[in-house]
Structure 1
């Protein structure tokens, strides 16, 4: 009888999803402070800003919001194409592309490129949202904070009706908390070290996630794809 394929506990993808969300909060705070009210992963806020800017005749602000939104959509498109074309290594490949985009952003920030410096990060956040993990019935790891909070309430309601588990609500709550912590750390680091160092730190965190993803997938072998799900 052939040996059973390796198995993966829910903890490993949960850690990855939580760290990815933390990084999204980190860069959102950096982008908001640096771009004067624009986000890099929170497109609902940018869409609101776009409408307000158009209504008030602030065409430059509206153009900036539209460009950031467009970059995010491009990232989501590219990330989905990579994920659909990959089997076992999609997470590693997407994270590797994100690292390159953060490196480009850090170089542009070092050269005082201003608004343009953060556009590669908006693309990277679109890429990141193409990868997610299902943990305890909860879709976590994306930067959809409103959805995460709604998920907490919905999961608690299901628990009260006897149709769900508290672990689902906890997963959504952890995703929200990770985003808030990331925003806190990102703001403190931007103030303390500057834009270039903040972007470089986020890129290094992503590089670490990519290295761990590579190591885990290599250890699991071809029998288990992308932490047990594909």
Structure 2
């Protein structure tokens, strides 16, 4: 859970950097980009259509890449390492060129990849870059807590949203003060450090290279037997 919170903060940071740098387009929030794409298509804004479509396509490509990486070596470590590499490349190329192209191509790819960090049996168990689901679950689990369910589970979901918010605030401030390269290099370093920490921890626990699996509960349907009549 701690790793998920830190990565959600990093995702919020990067999305805020991308949003400001690209002038109102997202590198991780694809629902927003889809709305932008629809609006731009309706108004015939070819430039906005191209940018929104590029971001959507690169994010999707990143998701596919992440699903592949999660099956190579120690999946979680591999995914984090490639995410750090993509953010570092964006910092290097974007800082040198001053162009929006590295941000539009590499950052959404990185955000697609990082969503495979908690990939179990081909499905993401914890979403890191989209928080609508987390807010829905937080509200539902809050009600459950008043009806005999887990008392603090709602707070865990809400903490992911809060981490995204705080990360976004810090990212926007850093971009304003340090520029693109100065804002991205610290996150690339953080992701690299997390990769090393996660790899060491998984080796210590003996799960390095072991693919996680979701627990499955078998549901058995019993057919009703013949009704007994008491006489």
- 1:96 to partner: Cα distance: 0.8
Shift of the alpha carbon at 1:77? 0.3
CA displacement at 1:80 relative to structure 2: 0.7
Aligned-pair CA distance for 1:142: 1.5
Partner of 1:65: 52
Structure 2 residue 25 is matched with structure 1 residue 74: no
Deviation string, structure 1 residues 173-206 (Cα, Å, up to 9, x no partner) = 1000000000000011001111011111111110
Structure ranking higher on relative contact order (CA contacts 8 Å, 6+ apart)? 1
2:128 is paired with a residue whose SS is coil
Partner of 1:205: 190
2-side partners of 1:153 and 1:222: how far apart? 33
Partner of 1:128: 114
After the TM superposition, list the runs of 4 or more consecutive aligned residues in structure 1 that deviate by more than 3 angstroms.
222-226
Q: TM-score, normalised by structure 2?
A: 0.84
- Check conservation: 1:18, 1:140, Cα contact below 8 A: no
Matches within 5 A, 1:32-111: 32-86=19-73, 89-111=74-96
Tell me the CA shift for residue 208 of structure 1: 1.0
Q: Could you tell me which runs of 5 or more consecutive residues in structure 2 were left unpaired when the two chains were aligned.
A: 214-231
For structure 1, which runs of at least 5 residues remain unmatched after alignment? 1-13
Instruction: Give 1 or 2 for the bigger CA radius of gyration.
Output: 2
Compute the TM-score of the two structures, normalised by the length of structure 1.
0.85
1:194 aligned counterpart, secondary structure: helix
Is the 8 Å Cα contact of residues 24 and 182 (structure 1) preserved in structure 2? yes
The answer to whether structure 1 residue 17 and structure 2 residue 4 are counterparts is yes
Residue 215 (structure 1) aligns with: 200
